[in-house]
Structure 1
Amino acid sequence: MDFVCNDKLVIVGAAGMIGSNMAQIASVMHLTPNLCLFDVYEPGLEGVYEELRHCGFDGMNIHYTTDVKEAFTGAKYIVSSGGAPRKAGMTREDLISGNGEIAKQLGENIRKYCPDLEHLTIIFNPADITGIIALLHSGLKPSQVTTLAGLDSTRLQSELAKHFGVLQHEVTGARTYGGHGEQMAVFGSSVKVDGKPLSELIGTDKLTDEQWAELRQRVIKGGANIIKLRGRSSFQSPAQLSIEMIGAAMGGPAFRWPVGTYVSNDRYDHVMMAWETVLDRNGAHIKPIEHATDEEMKELDASYKHLQDQIDNIIKMGLIPSVDKWSELNPNIK
């Protein structure tokens, strides 16, 4: 059986719905034979382990543990969904306090047990904030930490495909940037529907301005809609996309969507946000956002301001130091 690599991949939060799905997808994708499942809830964790064995995957060396030192030692890749999920009526930001502490501990454990980690992908919300906390405390390079942001872009693609009655892959260039939350910036300028620019369709009888505004809101509130429909937060889609992300970092197929990554340039500084990147064995490296309209950039500016406010909040909570001291905590942050 051929695998992408032989390095140790750890699934944090493996007893949960996202984590267990991630473990199965990673096995199906043949990312590595060396898969470690970590969670603090042992009965559920053992249940996931047994179910994966019952799948009969060839060549897999699956291990589970509730001991963080055992799980992280020797790890080269980690995907973490190990935070509290969002419930009905909650925003992602409502999870900052508890999940922020979890992110801090995650970063500290990486620094302590697997400082040679190649890549960390974070799923649990609010991912832009838990990602920056884990990055700072882990000591990793910015290119080595990514967060789940592509889910918003796939939701945009899905909504457009449903509206125009085309297959989902016939909608190309669907992109959202900025925060993974209700302040995200939804870009339409790069989108094509069956080869036709979306900009030529908006404002016509095929997609009126009102329909476009309503569609954008469905994208922004896509996660809340899943909670309404299923009674729990999304798990299949974040599991799929997160494993595609870590798979790209492990040397697998290129990741097709924006990722949450550390951005520090002349317009946006000291922030983790959805951006256009190349994600491969060398980590995540940002690319220019092309073809954006002035209005879209204003939306991205507003999303960035919202993220800055959240960062100020977690500084006040003591989860991270003030920005001028970030490089003291993590010398890889400039």
Structure 2
Amino acid sequence: MVDVARNPVHVTVTGAAGQVSYALLFRIASGQVFGPDQPVVLRLLEIEPAMKALEGVAMELDDCAFPTLAGLVLTSNQQEAFDSASWALLVGAMPRKEGMERGDLLSANGGLFGPMGEAIQKNAASDIRVLVVGNPCNTNALIASGHAPDIPADRWFAMTRLDENRAKSQLAKKAGVPVAEVSNLAIWGNHSATQYPDAYNARIGGRRATDVIGDEEWVNGEFISAVQKRGAAIISARGLSSAASAASAAIDSVKSVLDGTPEGDWTSLAVISKGEYGVPEGLVFGYPVATKADGTWSVVEGVEHSDFAREKISKTTDELLQERDLVKHLLP
């Protein structure tokens, strides 16, 4: 039952007429994310040419008659979009297409996120949290957060949960178990083809995943490659980038921050590094993160790595440093 006396949570979604948002908005509006008793106002940002399509999305949201949907704001104005927002889901970005180089994505999207950071700092609620979904999400988050210096660093996240979900599915299939049996799966580094999905510290039914699977060649080869290249494989198969799975991962990310991770487990989030595991400070880096229901979180310490893992983590770190160098002109 919706508590109409509760103040609504204002949630900004950018690129709100796009594929990922179309798979995302109805689940937020239905109460799946913030709870069945929490009213939500969706603040939907689009570029001017897409406003007509956004109106159609809004009509469908209205037609669902969700009790938890307390209001809709449709706008192409960033200041209005982020006004009073407690959560900002930065979904909008140029979609990756088959054959597109990562540098092309950086050039196309990097300039969008500085102004967004400024608008968030100026207009959002004091409890704002930001999840960057639009790719290249790590470096887009780096740019946006750099333009919002008054917002605490622990409020910024980039989405590596899709990679975690993909990796869990691969491990579950290989082991012949339900995906719910897989835990402690960390994605280290960049949401890119250099990311390191860590099967060695993952668990299947409480046991080390590599012991359950018993196929080191597969773990070090096909498994990592399948996770790293899954996005490209989906583009090749359907001609479009991941949408429903990306939306589901965004919801998982928000709920992990809101609800907390199970005791002894963690989730994968890219956060602003404080130097953990030797990663340079300031990079937005994928780590295993333990969260609490009060909204606090921490990078899990003490995870052990083999030489193989350290090499993989070094490679993805180098890529993020290269990306940072490529967008230096966009940083304050």
TM-score (normalizing by structure 1): 0.86
The answer to whether the aligner puts 1:101 opposite 2:103 as a matched pair is no
Partner of 2:288: 276
Partner of 1:116: 126
The answer to whether the aligner puts 1:36 opposite 2:38 as a matched pair is no
Aligned positions of 1:307-326 closer than 5 A: 307-315=320-328, 318-321=329-332
**Structure 2 CA distance for aligned equivalents of residues 20 and 304 of structure 1:** 33
Task: Please say which of residues 128-137 and 25-34 is displaced more in the overlay.
Answer: 25-34
Quote the sequence identity (%).
24
**Structure 2 CA distance for aligned equivalents of residues 236 and 36 of structure 1:** 20
The letter of the residue matching 2:21 is G
The letter of the residue matching 2:67 is D
Q: 1:44/1:112 Cα in 2 relative to 1: closer, same or farther (>3 Å)?
A: same
The answer to whether the aligner puts 1:232 opposite 2:240 as a matched pair is yes
**Structure 1 CA distance for aligned equivalents of residues 103 and 125 of structure 2:** 29
**Structure 2 CA distance for aligned equivalents of residues 170 and 210 of structure 1:** 19
**Structure 1 CA distance for aligned equivalents of residues 251 and 212 of structure 2:** 34
Aligned positions of 1:21-100 closer than 5 A: 21-28=23-30, 29=32, 31=34, 32-40=39-47, 41-66=50-75, 67-100=77-110
Once the 2 structures are TM-superposed, how far is the Cα of residue 253 of structure 1 from its aligned partner? 5.4
Aligned positions of 1:132-151 closer than 5 A: 132-139=142-149, 140-151=151-162
Q: Residue deviations 1:292-315, cap 9 Å, x none?
A: 323212211221121111111111
Task: Please say which of residues 91-100 and 148-157 is displaced more in the overlay.
Answer: 91-100
Q: How many residues align?
A: 315
TM-score (normalizing by structure 2): 0.87
Q: Residue deviations 1:123-168, cap 9 Å, x none?
A: 0111110010011102221101101011111111111222232211
Q: Can you give the 5+ residue segments of structure 1 that lack an aligned partner in the other structure? A: 322-334
Partners of 2:11 and 2:88 within 8 A in 1:
yes
The answer to whether the aligner puts 1:293 opposite 2:306 as a matched pair is yes
The answer to whether the aligner puts 1:188 opposite 2:199 as a matched pair is yes
**Structure 2 CA distance for aligned equivalents of residues 161 and 110 of structure 1:** 39
The letter of the residue matching 1:76 is S
Q: Can you give the 5+ residue segments of structure 2 that lack an aligned partner in the other structure? A: none
Q: 1:210/1:129 Cα in 2 relative to 1: closer, same or farther (>3 Å)?
A: same
**Structure 1 CA distance for aligned equivalents of residues 33 and 194 of structure 2:** 36
The letter of the residue matching 2:132 is I
